[in-house]
């Protein structure tokens, strides 16, 4: 019923303390994530949001208002890195689509593995929705879809739903990178395995 009503363009500008607190929180969170991983593999680092708020010198309520979920906070902290990962590099663009896709997945896996601190913060939430926030996942789908389209065009990839491929890739990440027992070679082997399935069936 509200139809295509445009937003009333709120005139008031954001309060200064609001933006300052946001920055403080981001900085504190970043520090916490970076410091988190910890050498001991067994240690369940897991950053506390209350500590982040305290480090930023704001109340816990303020943290939750700016970042309603842990995911939102993690996403904001790694925003620029995510932008990079969620796009196709020139090098990847020049490769044949199947190899380009493989290269991109590898970049994604590296990002994933490097941000263990981020994973620790997300821990406990992803059963209820996503390792990849809906928006982030859409972005991944877009990238995957682009590779698939090119691959279908030149015959190097099968015609598949992008979200299926994204799901398969995330599955590999979840079971080989996120788990404590991760062995790096396994991620590579499983991504290769996935790519095998994506090639067109040999003409019977």
Which chain residues interact with DNA by CB under 7 A? Answer: 11-18, 21-22, 47-51, 58-62, 64-66, 68-70, 125
Of 91 and 161, the one with the shorter C-beta distance to its own copies is 161
Q: Is 189 in the site for its own copies (CB under 8 A)?
A: yes
Of 27 and 130, the one with the shorter C-beta distance to its own copies is 130
Cα distance between residue 54 and residue 134, in whole Å:
29
Residues 9-48 that bind its own copies (CB under 8 A): 44
Measured in whole angstroms, how far is the alpha carbon of residue 69 from the centre of its chain? 15
Residues 87-126 that bind its own copies (CB under 8 A): 119-120, 122-124, 126
Which option in its own copies, DNA, none does residue 167 bind, with CB closer than 5 to 8 A by kind? Answer: its own copies
Of 11 and 94, the one with the shorter C-beta distance to DNA is 11
Query: Are 98 and 156 contacting, i.e. CB atoms less than 8 angstroms apart?
Result: yes
Which option in DNA, its own copies, none does residue 64 bind, with CB closer than 5 to 8 A by kind? Answer: DNA
Query: Are 9 and 46 contacting, i.e. CB atoms less than 8 angstroms apart?
Result: no
DSSP 46-103: ---HHHHHHHHTS-HHHHHHH-SSHHHHHHHHTHHHHHHHTS--HHHHHS-HHHHHHH
Of 18 and 129, the one with the shorter C-beta distance to its own copies is 129
Q: Which of 24, 53, 157, 168 binds its own copies (CB under 8 A)?
A: 168
Which 8-state DSSP code applies to residue 15? P
Q: What does each C-alpha distance from 152 to 41, 50, 92, 118 come to in angstroms?
A: 42, 49, 16, 35
Name the minimum Å distance from CB 121 to DNA: 8
Query: Are 18 and 63 contacting, i.e. CB atoms less than 8 angstroms apart?
Result: no
The two tokens of residue 53 are: 């708020």
In 26-181, where do the E strands start and end? Answer: none
Residues in contact with its own copies by the rule CB under 8 A? 44, 119-120, 122-124, 126-131, 161, 163-164, 167-168, 170-176, 178-181, 186, 189-190, 193-194, 196-198, 201-202
């Amino acid at each position: 019923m509200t139809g295509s009503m445009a937003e009333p363009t709120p005139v008031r500008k954001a309060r200064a303390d609001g933006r300052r607190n946001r920055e403080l929180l981001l900085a504190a969170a970043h520090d916490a994530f970076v410091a988190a991983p910890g050498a001991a593999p067994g240690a369940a680092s897991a950053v506390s949001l209350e500590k982040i708020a305290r480090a930023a010198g704001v109340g816990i309520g303020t943290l939750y208002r700016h970042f309603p979920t842990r995911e939102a906070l993690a996403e904001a902290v790694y925003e620029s890195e995510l932008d990079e990962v969620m796009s196709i590099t020139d090098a990847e663009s020049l490769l044949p689509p199947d190899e380009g896709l493989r290269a991109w997945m590898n970049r994604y896996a590296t990002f994933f593995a490097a941000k263990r601190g981020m994973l620790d913060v997300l821990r406990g939430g992803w059963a209820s929705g996503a390792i990849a926030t809906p928006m982030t996942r859409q972005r991944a789908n877009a990238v995957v879809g682009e590779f698939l389209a090119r691959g279908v065009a030149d015959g190097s990839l099968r015609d598949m739903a992008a979200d299926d491929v994204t799901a398969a890739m995330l599955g590999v990440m979840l079971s080989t990178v996120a788990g404590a027992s991760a062995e790096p070679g396994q991620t590579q082997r499983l991504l290769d395995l996935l790519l095998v399935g994506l090639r067109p069936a040999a003409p019977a």
